Amino acid sequence: MMTWDDFWKLIATLGGRTDYDSCTRLTNALALREVQEIAGFGERIAESLYRLDQERFGRLPVANMGSPDAPFPQSGDHFLYARCAVVAAGRDVYEGVFDDPSGFGPFTATNLEGEWLLYVAQNAFELVTSEEWDRRTQYSFESYSNRDGWPGRG
């Protein structure tokens, strides 16, 4: 099992970015670990994204899009990638948005490459084992899957 401390140390290798190069660097660092740790990293990514899957973050408009009278809403994918950007920003930022949800807002504009983070564990696993990743995590990272975070979506 991967500890949260180990998870955040690995996330720090991203340098706050989720572009292809930073996620490849993280994949390569993760591929130096045991398969069990790679799977644990996949669990931690899924759980961290799941915890951010809350209406108070998902209802924030996309930063710098639209006007104050007609804010541009986040799509499900956009919200997922914004959550990836928050995780990539590191432990302090991640934990801080729970105390101050306004800290999430700027990440709605900086998430265009957030999807790369979703494939880090899978790619590391495939590098190490030469097998296809066929694992399911305990938590779903898909937008709106956290029922407690979206009480009105039933």
Q: What is the pLDDT of residues 104-150, one digit of tens each?
A: 988 988 656 789 999 999 999 999 999 999 989 999 999 999 999 99
Domain locations in the chain? 17-139
- Kindly report, residue by residue over 47-95, the tens digit of the pLDDT: 999 999 999 999 888 876 655 555 678 889 999 999 999 999 999 999 9
For residue 18, the number of C-alpha atoms closer than 13 Å in the C-beta half-sphere is 24
Q: SS3 of 66, please?
A: strand
